[in-house]
């Protein structure tokens, strides 16, 4: 079997090509300025989860940035399924993929340019989920640090659009890692309220009820929406609002949600234990079990098997 047969396939501007051949010009505006948007779903047992909802959010991000991919969301859904199909043979039966869609505004042009590409850059890709890298979080819980770097305010750039410009979150994540290399950053807004992390939303539990930051201040994650739906189904009260470090310090439980994590318990915030300091309090456990049932995959066991 050739090396190309063992290489993942990506969709790039109308063609399916090996990843090593999926080259983007250095004058692409996403590379120059972060001028692009993306979305990312995951598979459970090799089946994409809530692809339509992810693409609906992607469409909103594109509209906010004034980007036209030249493809409908239905066409992007079909391309996403085809990219997944072409790459499934490379995946272990117990593992899963991220499947992502990316659009940039294309090449910044100057007189005399000879770039063949005209219009936006459209990419659909897939990557193995970092199951081994994150497995310990499902046994021991996540430690959260709130760095001094604050989240970009929505009056400057709305966090509800999933853009290629992640520098605010990356700087904050690096700051958190300087304090605790294994911690996850959750940024505060300018007023000291909890916002979000790099690709993750936070929930607190107090007196049996869920609390989470207001949607205006964060990227409204699809996993976040799943948890809110499940809470309603399980008759667990859920409220969006302004939450500060007092709320974090007095929470009984906490967890993060993201496409890859689904739902993962938080055991520590800024060095202080959450509740009794153990993962999987009763509300977190109920929601984790309900999420796994909905997805048709015990994602906690999927992560934990990588501990060996």
- Over residues 182-193, the pLDDT tens digits come to 999 999 999 999
Q: What is the pLDDT averaged over residues 189-212?
A: 98
Split at pLDDT 50, 70, 90, the class of 5 is confident
Strand partners, 184: 144
Provide, rounded to the nearest whole percent, the portion of the chain with pLDDT above 70: 99
Q: What angle do CA 252, 204, 164 make, to 5 degrees?
A: 150
160: tokens are: 């509800």
- Report d(CA 94, CA 96) in Å as an integer: 7
Give the end-to-end CA distance of the chain in Å, rounded to a whole number.
Answer: 30
Q: Which pLDDT score, from 0 to 100, does residue 4 have?
A: 64
303: tokens are: 């992560």
Kindly give, in sequence order, each residue whose CB lies less than 8 Å from that of residue 220, ignoring residues fewer than 6 positions away.
57, 160, 201
Q: What is the pLDDT averaged over residues 104-133?
A: 93
For the chain, counts of helices (H) and of strands (E): 9, 15
Whole-prediction pTM? 0.96
CATH topology identical between 4-128 and 134-307: no
Q: What is the pLDDT of residues 61-85, one digit of tens each?
A: 999 999 999 999 999 999 999 999 9
Q: Which pLDDT score, from 0 to 100, does residue 1 have?
A: 40
Q: Is the pLDDT of residue 179 over 50?
A: yes
Q: What is the pLDDT of residues 291-308, one digit of tens each?
A: 999 999 999 999 999 997
Q: What is the pLDDT averaged over residues 137-148?
A: 98
Q: Is the pLDDT of residue 244 over 60?
A: yes
CB 143 within 8 A of CB 268: yes
227: tokens are: 């948890």
Q: What is the pLDDT averaged over residues 208-215?
A: 98
137: tokens are: 């979080």
- How distant, in Å, are the alpha carbons of 104, 137, 161, 203 from that of 200? 23, 14, 14, 10
- Report d(CA 123, CA 16) in Å as an integer: 10
Q: Which pLDDT score, from 0 to 100, does residue 116 have?
A: 80
**Topology of domain 4-128, CATH:** D-amino Acid Aminotransferase; Chain A, domain 1 (3.30.470)
Q: What is the pLDDT of residues 98-114, one digit of tens each?
A: 999 999 999 998 888 88
Q: Is 238 helix (H, G, I), strand (E, B) or coil?
A: strand
Listed by start position, the domains of the chain span 4-128, 134-307
**Exposure string for 180-199, b = 16+ CB within 10 A, e = fewer:** eeebbbbbbbeeebbbbbbb
Q: What is the pLDDT averaged over residues 163-177?
A: 98
Q: Which pLDDT score, from 0 to 100, does residue 112 have?
A: 85
Residues composing the chain: 308
- Report d(CA 172, CA 149) in Å as an integer: 5
Name the DSSP class of 252. S
Split at pLDDT 50, 70, 90, the class of 93 is very high
- Report d(CA 249, CA 115) in Å as an integer: 55
Q: Is the pLDDT of residue 288 over 60?
A: yes
Task: Indicate the CATH number for domain 134-307.
Answer: 3.20.10.10
Q: Which of 4, 1, 7 is nearest to 90 (CA)?
A: 7
Tokens 């047969």 belong to 5
Dihedral pair phi/psi, residue 73, rounded to 5°: -65, -30
Q: Which pLDDT score, from 0 to 100, does residue 204 have?
A: 98
């Amino acid at each position: 079997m050739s090396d190309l047969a063992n290489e993942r396939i990506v969709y790039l501007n109308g063609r399916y090509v090996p990843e090593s051949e999926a080259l983007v010009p250095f004058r692409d505006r996403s590379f120059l300025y972060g001028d692009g948007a993306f979305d990312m779903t995951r598979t459970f047992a090799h089946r994409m989860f809530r692809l339509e909802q992810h693409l609906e959010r992607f469409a909103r991000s594109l509209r906010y940035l004034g980007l036209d991919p030249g493809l409908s969301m239905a066409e992007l859904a079909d391309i996403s399924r085809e990219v997944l199909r072409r790459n499934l043979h490379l995946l272990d039966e117990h593992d899963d993929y991220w499947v992502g869609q990316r659009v940039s505004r294309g090449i910044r042009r100057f007189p005399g340019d000879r770039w063949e590409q005209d219009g936006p850059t459209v990419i659909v890709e897939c990557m193995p989920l970092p199951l081994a890298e994150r497995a310990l979080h499902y046994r021991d819980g996540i430690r959260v640090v709130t760095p001094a770097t604050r989240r970009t305010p929505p009056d400057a750039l709305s966090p509800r659009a999933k853009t290629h410009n992640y520098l605010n979150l990356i700087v904050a994540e690096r700051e958190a890692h300087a304090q605790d290399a294994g911690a996850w950053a959750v940024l505060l807004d300018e007023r000291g309220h909890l916002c979000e992390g790099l690709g993750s939303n936070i929930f607190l539990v107090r007196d049996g009820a869920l609390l989470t930051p207001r949607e205006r201040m964060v990227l409204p994650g699809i996993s976040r929406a799943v948890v809110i739906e499940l809470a309603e189904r399980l008759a667990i009260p859920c409220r969006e609002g302004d939450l500060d470090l007092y709320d974090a310090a007095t929470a009984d439980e906490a967890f993060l949600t993201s496409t890859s994590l689904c739902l993962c318990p938080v055991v520590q915030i800024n060095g202080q234990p959450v509740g009794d300091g153990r993962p999987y309090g009763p509300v977190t456990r109920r929601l984790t079990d309900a999420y796994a049932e909905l997805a048709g995959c015990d994602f906690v066991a999927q992560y934990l098997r990588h501990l060996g």
